[in-house]
Amino acid sequence: SPSTLPDAAIARRLAGVKTILLVLSGKGGVGKSSVSSQLALSLSSSAGGAARVGLLDIDLTGPSIPRMLGLDGSPVHQSSDGWVPVYADREQRLAVMSVGFLLRSRNDSVVWRGPKKNAMIKQFLGDVRWGELDYLIVDTPPGTSDEHISLVEYLAPFSPVSLMVTTPQALSLADNLRSLDFTRKVSLPLLGVIENMSGYVCPHCTECTNVWGRGGGEALAQREGLAFLGRIPIDPGLVRVLDDAKEEAQVTVAQELGVEKVSLEDIT
Ligand code: ADP
């Protein structure tokens, strides 16, 4: 049964993956999924289009990656060589896997206990045909949860790294400190901090207003001895792009293969 897959399965699947990056946030709603998806898009269109990227969404509480990439409702298929990810582009440079693809409807929710979440993560790592990837970006749930512990356990042999997304209030949030503490306890390297929703650029005058302040992410990075990777302003245009992504670019190789569709029941 898939739940008893040896870690050798994960090793085989991830053999062609160069860099694994976990995207973390102290709490929900700070833009972790937005950053994950935009990062995946820009990496997969960088390097003259030569980079291949995987994006794994394991945010059970709100799998928003399919919607953000205009892939809502795309099926995951079972091939003779494992689950086929959904490709966001025709060139198949961005492979996406999300628990959202396995839900019957966008509004379905998943209420699972730890062991089942652990089994799901094992299957996403050990059963998906990721292929050769320059980057595998993992959008994790907010905070630190069972999912993070499972991920770090399974991924430790592949030396993953992480980055943290915060808002300008970063310095005052205990959740951020808990996330940082987690990375230290499990020796997960943290590349640095991104401050999202940092000020508002008025579309009429292009001047920046600091709605929720500015600089908390940078101050947190400084205080904790971390790299500050940059800030992203609040951008109404980004909300439109993210929340109303059109379903036009999606391609599923599996459709050509004529294979079986995978559903939540297949996670054992
Ligand atoms: P998280 O993954 O941390 O829960 P999301 O990435 O889902 O957060 O973002 C939460 C909401 O905020 C989404 O509706 C998203 O479109 C919006 N959002 C994220 N970043 C920005 C930004 N820089 N400007 C405007 N809206 C944003």
pLDDT digit string, tens, across residues 205-215: 766 666 666 78
Cα angle vertex 231, ends 22, 31, to 5°? 50
Mean pLDDT over each residue of the chain, to the nearest integer: 84
DSSP symbols for 74-101 = PPPEEETTEEEPEESSTT--EEEEEGGG
d(CA 164, CA 192) in angstroms, rounded, equals: 6
Atom number in ligand 1 closest to CA 243: 16
Residue 240: the pLDDT is 73
Among 4-13, 55-64, 163-172, 227-236, the minimum mean pLDDT is found in: 4-13
The sign one gets for the Cα dihedral 229, 233, 237, 243 is positive
> 1: pLDDT confidence band, cut at 50, 70 and 90?
very low
- Cβ atoms of 195 and 216 within 8 Å: the answer is yes
Position 104 pLDDT exceeds 80: no
Ligand 1 in reach of 29 Cβ (< 6 A): yes
Residue 19: the pLDDT is 97
Mean pLDDT of 59-87: 90
Residue 122: the pLDDT is 93
Residues with Cβ within 8 Å of residue 226, at least 6 apart in sequence? 164, 180, 190, 192, 193, 220
Query: Which of the pair, 109 or 63, is modelled with greater confidence?
Result: 63
If one counts every other C-beta atom within 10 angstroms of the C-beta of residue 82, the result is 18
Residue 45: the pLDDT is 85
Domains annotated for the chain, with CATH where assigned, are 2-194+236-255 (3.40.50.300)
Ligand 1 in reach of 239 Cβ (< 6 A): yes
Query: Which of the pair, 1 or 30, is modelled with greater confidence?
Result: 30
Residue 199: the pLDDT is 80
Cα angle vertex 260, ends 87, 79, to 5°? 60
Ligand 1 in reach of 254 Cβ (< 6 A): no
The tokens for 162 are 């992480």
Residue 2: the pLDDT is 41
Question: Do the annotations mark residue 33 as ligand-binding?
Answer: yes
**Shortest-distance Cα residue to atom 17 of ligand 1:** 239
Q: What percent of the chain has pLDDT over 70?
A: 82
Position 124 pLDDT exceeds 50: yes
If one counts every other C-beta atom within 10 angstroms of the C-beta of residue 80, the result is 7
Position 253 pLDDT exceeds 60: no
Residue 176: the pLDDT is 93
